[in-house]
Chains A and B, each alone.
Chain A
């Protein structure tokens, strides 16, 4: 049912850009769909072909990522569509349904099937299913260099003949074979009749049943004739996979199919779906045996050597934890100097220059204030943690691309499972540390709705990059001597509470069996730098756009809330101040029952990093007078501090492991905010405040992501309620507990 509506939307969304493309006479545009297994190097191949022309969006109606590109290749318009990576075209996972619906309904001119040359047999299983569709196909025999290196000899000619398709060896990471691949694809698309893929023989029993089903369809439902590839449709109906095609299943003649498949079932003693899967694999295995010559002596692969250590009984967990720690440390240390620089530059020289420019043209004081305290401060706070987000995305992409992410899931599954989750839940959770939003979207890798909902519910407890600016300021103000430890404790607190809540949810909202865990452990591979940068950029850009719009708008809104009603003298009497005063008493027992903290927390509901921006705004009145400087001095200051910042970043990369470089940065200019915070908070209330910011409700963008992913507000409502309660409770424990122990 869901698929049907998805398809309708997919069609209406995809048709308009397609029609002009097809009307170009002999220089017809070519629509190329790229299909392949996960870990076959498909996204690297797409990146290598399309480069910056790649457009990343979503499949209509669902939130699975859709990459596409339009470009000219040797005078031809090529439209490239990246299908989700799948092992099969079964009707069970969202990715598989999207891939096959696109192929069946949109009928691309040609499919590029990316096949991992080091793992041909399993990859060909998908190829066999793609061939059933009757769409012209070209195989990109990817990772070809590695296969050669391992001693495989692949007879490409034989492969082409047996499948009736073109086969092009490629090495996507080295960009080799890509021109040939595109050339083959356009040639095949131009001569579909010459390159009709072979219809592989599924054996007498299946074939004869399929023939009678095809006849039945042709006779009874002639309207379906041109709509679907008939042989494929017959297979699907036999497999009992008809629920995806409403129009067929409505009229299905059950007794006919019973009769047509009775012999097949009896002779093979299994359900038809399994008989078909068996036969497809038999074909893949047979083909592989014919075309691939394996090396006589199998060398121990590098992957095995690494896994012997990384998945070791005793070392596995410590290595995993160490890897995570290094990732965070690196992320933080590399990005901090740059973030600080952006912060200082916008708060100092840029604001001064803007103010000067406005006074020079006799602009009113409130415009100068809106520009510097609203616009520039807002943009500055957004940009200041862009380096953190990008660094985080870079390392997470590296973990994914290198193959370690699957090991992390393997190592962690038992632990995740005990809180009712799947080892794969770990990946969205880990992404959640970068930003909860991509984490929520990544829950779609979980096939089961139950796993997915529970993961999304616990995910906001993962301390995201947007919470980092809050920690950075508070740690800088109170805990710079043990910055790393205090920061680490925030992350650990989130994880510990997620475990607790997971166990709780498992016993209440999510009772029952937890679903399957069947996952490939791909070979370790060094991701190409280019591909790494592109993925980082794609993910980072998404964040930047989100930050740029939401946070900037909110920053302006906050300025207005602070400065309205017109002529308000003290921030306390502004709208925001009044809101803060109402909430403050509720925060009294947890250590920060003042209107300033309460007001900033209100703005943080929109996005947590804004808490700091708002504080800066609220406390701005109390900042000391700035020194007078000339424009050229300002520019020079920005330049020299930038060079220092870059130098610090590079130094930190090498200094990171084992050396606490955060605490060594005493010379870094403290912003006015830090000194104000030192006056307003104690170390104890600061820590309680950090915990509160970690836990209280997910931001608005997460709210929209959850609504989007789950098609309603239900799960967000649950998340909001339990997190508010949790945040207040934990902050209370910290503050009151701390006071009992005589701290603060």
Chain B
């Protein structure tokens, strides 16, 4: 299960960040960390990117990046 598979309104908990190097550092700098809770808010009108809430703020990222973030669905 990865972040791109969550539907708007669904919550998840990050289990692994697959990216490496600059992208990984950037994600971590923005608070995308293992163990963090994340909620998918919206999908952009054209289908990509997505908007998530993490660490109490709103972050947008492309599905391609979201696919590299493994999550487990939280209820």
Which A residues are within 8 Å of any B CB, using their own CB? 87-88, 90, 92, 119, 121-122, 125, 273-274, 277-278, 281, 303, 307, 311-317, 406, 409-411, 413-415, 417, 423, 516-523
Contact of B56 among A121, A274, A311 (CB under 8 A): A121
List 10 A-B pairs, Cβ < 8 Å: A87-B29, A122-B31, A274-B24, A277-B25, A278-B34, A303-B58, A317-B45, A410-B49, A520-B58, A520-B60
Nearest CB in chain A to that of B43: its residue: A313
State whether B51 touches A410 (Cβ < 8 A): yes
Q: CB-CB < 8 A to A273: which residues of B?
A: 25
State whether B45 touches A312 (Cβ < 8 A): yes
Min CB distance, B7 to chain A, in Å?
13
User: Is B30 an interface residue, CB under 8 A from the partner?
Assistant: yes
State whether B56 touches A119 (Cβ < 8 A): yes
State whether B28 touches A316 (Cβ < 8 A): no
Q: CB-CB < 8 A to A417: which residues of B?
A: 48, 62
Bound CA–CA A92/B48 (angstroms): 25
Min CB distance, A362 to chain B, in Å?
70
State whether B33 touches A281 (Cβ < 8 A): yes
Q: A119-B57, A417-B62 are in contact. Are A518 and B26 (CB under 8 A)?
A: yes
Q: A92-B25, A410-B51 are in contact. Are A520 and B30 (CB under 8 A)?
A: yes
- 7 shortest A-B CB distances, which residue pairs? A414-B46, A316-B45, A88-B29, A277-B28, A521-B58, A517-B62, A414-B48
Contact of A411 among B34, B44, B61, B62 (CB under 8 A): B44
State whether A519 touches B24 (Cβ < 8 A): no
Q: CB-CB < 8 A to A277: which residues of B?
A: 25, 28-29, 33
Nearest CB in chain A to that of B57: its residue: A119
Bound CA–CA A410/B33 (angstroms): 22
State whether A121 touches B62 (Cβ < 8 A): no
Q: CB-CB < 8 A to B6: which residues of A?
A: none
Apart from A311-B42, A413-B48, A519-B61, 7 more pairs, CB < 8 Å? A122-B55, A274-B24, A277-B25, A281-B33, A316-B44, A413-B60, A520-B60
Bound CA–CA A181/B67 (angstroms): 44
User: Is B27 an interface residue, CB under 8 A from the partner?
Assistant: yes
State whether B28 touches A516 (Cβ < 8 A): no
Q: A122-B57, A518-B59, A519-B59 are in contact. Are A92 and B44 (CB under 8 A)?
A: no
State whether B60 touches A521 (Cβ < 8 A): yes
Contact of A518 among B41, B48, B55, B61 (CB under 8 A): B61
State whether A413 touches B65 (Cβ < 8 A): no
State whether A121 touches B31 (Cβ < 8 A): yes
Q: CB-CB < 8 A to A315: which residues of B?
A: 45
Q: CB-CB < 8 A to A521: which residues of B?
A: 51, 58-60
Min CB distance, B69 to chain A, in Å?
11
State whether A413 touches B49 (Cβ < 8 A): yes
Q: CB-CB < 8 A to B48: which residues of A?
A: 413-414, 417
State whether A516 touches B30 (Cβ < 8 A): no
User: Is B9 an interface residue, CB under 8 A from the partner?
Assistant: no
State whether A92 touches B60 (Cβ < 8 A): no
Q: CB-CB < 8 A to B31: which residues of A?
A: 121-122, 125, 281
Contact of B25 among A90, A122, A316, A410 (CB under 8 A): A90
User: Is B23 an interface residue, CB under 8 A from the partner?
Assistant: yes
Min CB distance, B41 to chain A, in Å?
8
Min CB distance, B60 to chain A, in Å?
5
Q: CB-CB < 8 A to B61: which residues of A?
A: 516-519
State whether A414 touches B47 (Cβ < 8 A): yes
Contact of A517 among B24, B28, B55, B60 (CB under 8 A): B60
State whether A520 touches B62 (Cβ < 8 A): no
Q: CB-CB < 8 A to A92: which residues of B?
A: 22, 25-26
Q: A121-B31, A121-B56, A311-B42 are in contact. Are A413 and B25 (CB under 8 A)?
A: no
Bound CA–CA A516/B27 (angstroms): 10
Q: A311-B42, A317-B45 are in contact. Are A281 and B28 (CB under 8 A)?
A: yes
Min CB distance, A39 to chain B, in Å?
9
Q: CB-CB < 8 A to B29: which residues of A?
A: 87-88, 90, 125, 277
Q: CB-CB < 8 A to B46: which residues of A?
A: 317, 411, 413-415
Bound CA–CA A417/B65 (angstroms): 14
Q: CB-CB < 8 A to A519: which residues of B?
A: 59-61
State whether B26 touches A414 (Cβ < 8 A): no
Min CB distance, A294 to chain B, in Å?
9
Min CB distance, B24 to chain A, in Å?
6
Q: CB-CB < 8 A to A517: which residues of B?
A: 49, 60-62, 65
State whether B45 touches A121 (Cβ < 8 A): no
Bound CA–CA A520/B57 (angstroms): 8
Min CB distance, B59 to chain A, in Å?
6
Bound CA–CA A40/B22 (angstroms): 24
Bound CA–CA A406/B31 (angstroms): 18
State whether B45 touches A311 (Cβ < 8 A): yes
State whether B30 touches A87 (Cβ < 8 A): yes
Bound CA–CA A317/B41 (angstroms): 18
Nearest CB in chain B to that of A292: its residue: B56
Contact of B49 among A281, A316, A414 (CB under 8 A): A414
Q: CB-CB < 8 A to A414: which residues of B?
A: 44, 46-49
Centre residue among B44, B55, B65 by max chain A CB count within 10 A = B44
Bound CA–CA A316/B45 (angstroms): 6
Bound CA–CA A516/B44 (angstroms): 16
Bound CA–CA A216/B49 (angstroms): 46
Bound CA–CA A542/B44 (angstroms): 35
Contact of A311 among B26, B51, B55 (CB under 8 A): B51
Nearest CB in chain B to that of A418: its residue: B46
Bound CA–CA A415/B48 (angstroms): 9
Q: CB-CB < 8 A to B62: which residues of A?
A: 413, 417, 516-517
Bound CA–CA A587/B29 (angstroms): 55
Nearest CB in chain A to that of B50: its residue: A410
Q: A316-B44, A517-B62, A517-B65 are in contact. Are A122 and B30 (CB under 8 A)?
A: yes
State whether A311 touches B30 (Cβ < 8 A): no
Q: A311-B51, A410-B44 are in contact. Are A520 and B59 (CB under 8 A)?
A: yes
Nearest CB in chain B to that of A423: its residue: B49
State whether A411 touches B65 (Cβ < 8 A): no
Q: CB-CB < 8 A to A281: which residues of B?
A: 28, 31, 33
Min CB distance, B64 to chain A, in Å?
8
Nearest CB in chain A to that of B46: its residue: A414
Q: CB-CB < 8 A to B28: which residues of A?
A: 274, 277-278, 281
Q: CB-CB < 8 A to B41: which residues of A?
A: 307
Bound CA–CA A313/B33 (angstroms): 29
Bound CA–CA A516/B17 (angstroms): 15
Nearest CB in chain B to that of A312: its residue: B45
Q: CB-CB < 8 A to A88: which residues of B?
A: 25, 29
Q: CB-CB < 8 A to B34: which residues of A?
A: 278
Q: A87-B29, A277-B29, A423-B49 are in contact. Are A121 and B55 (CB under 8 A)?
A: yes
Min CB distance, A278 to chain B, in Å?
6
Bound CA–CA A681/B42 (angstroms): 52
Nearest CB in chain A to that of B24: its residue: A274
Interface string of B8-25 (1 = CB under 8 A from A): 000000000100001111
Contact of B26 among A90, A119, A125 (CB under 8 A): A90
Min CB distance, B8 to chain A, in Å?
10
